[in-house]
Amino acid sequence: MTPWQLWLVTLALLLVAAGLLWKSAQHQSERALGGDTLTAHRKRLPRDSLQEVVLDYLLAAGIHLGGRGLLLLGGLLLVMILGTLLMFGNRLGALLVLGGLVAINVGLGLRAQHLRQKIRDQLPNFMEQVVREIGVGATLEIAFRRNVERVPLPLRDALSRIAIRRELGMELHEGLRREAQLLKIHEFDLLAAAVEVNQVHGGSLKEILGSFVELLRQQERGRRELKALTGETRVTAVVLAGMPLALAGFMVINNPEFLAPMLESPSGKLALWVALGLELGGCFALWRMLRSV
């Protein structure tokens, strides 16, 4: 592919992205101006357009962007992809671009997982404060609103979004479910179910939320015990994944002539690619085994 062809492909991708963002913004404006805005907010799904898919994905990782910021980020990413392809050629450039996209995705996933864990750790203390205020006569919404600004980040951001949805007309349990879908935190789903059951069937909200807090504490104790019990397994997985790479690096540094014939012959290059594929497959298998424990 020539540089002119790369420029044309990049320009086409930029035009497509701009068109999708424009249609998304136009659709949102028409929906906001077209009648019952309150009902539209209540029935709004987590993902209504391509723009919201990307924004929700970034928001789950703690990155707050608007439509203009997303467009600038997409343009910068396309320029970086084009520059990489021009500098390193089609094959190596394509591999570097693919590797960079995978690394960005993995980084965002790890950051989102870290934020989810911090929110789970902060949620019991917040709910205990809410239960205490309900015990002295405050309603759930008043207790919820009073304690939003007292909690640390990142739970404060999630609770602020729930409070904003409540002001826009959503019920509290609907806002909690929306946040659970956004951040993939099932504890918000459980809390939403408890609030909805209390609103529909009545009962002691203090006892329901107290049981919910106790459930969160038990889950936290269970996670810590499981982490302690699987510590040896995780260390073994890290050793097994890092040993081939460490051995290959040692051979390259101390005896590069030993691997020179392999790097020069077609069969040797094929063997290296097969070894790389097996290494990546083994790392993925170990990761899935650890996730299933």
DSSP string, 79-98: HHHHHHHHHH-HHHHHHHHH
Q: How does DSSP classify residue 154?
A: T
In 3D space, the residue among 157, 155, 163 whose CA is nearest the CA of residue 124 turns out to be 155
Chain position carrying tokens 């320009």: 11
Please name the residue that has the structure tokens 């086409």.
12
Question: Cα 54 vs. chain centroid, distance in angstroms?
Answer: 11
Q: What is the pLDDT along the chain (293 residues), one digit of tens a residue?
A: 555 555 555 556 555 555 555 555 455 444 443 433 333 333 334 445 677 888 888 889 988 888 788 888 888 888 888 888 888 877 777 888 888 888 898 899 989 999 999 999 999 999 999 999 998 888 888 898 889 888 998 999 999 999 999 888 889 999 999 999 999 999 999 999 989 988 888 778 888 899 989 988 998 888 888 878 777 777 888 888 888 888 888 888 888 887 777 778 888 888 888 888 888 888 888 777 776 65
Q: Which residues of 130-167 are buried (b: 16+ CB within 10 A; e: fewer)?
A: bbebbeeeeebeebbeebbeebeebbbbbbebbbebbe
Non-local (6+) Cβ contacts of 281 within 8 A are none
Q: Is-above-0.95 flag for pTM? A: no
C-alpha 77/C-alpha 83 separation (Å) is 10
- Using only C-alpha atoms, the chain has a radius of gyration, in whole angstroms, of 25
Burial class (CB in 10 A: 0-12, 13-18, 19+), 192: buried
Amino acid at 216: L
Nearest by Cα to 216 from 196, 174, 186, 176: 186
Counting Cα atoms < 13 Å in the Cβ hemisphere of 31 gives: 15
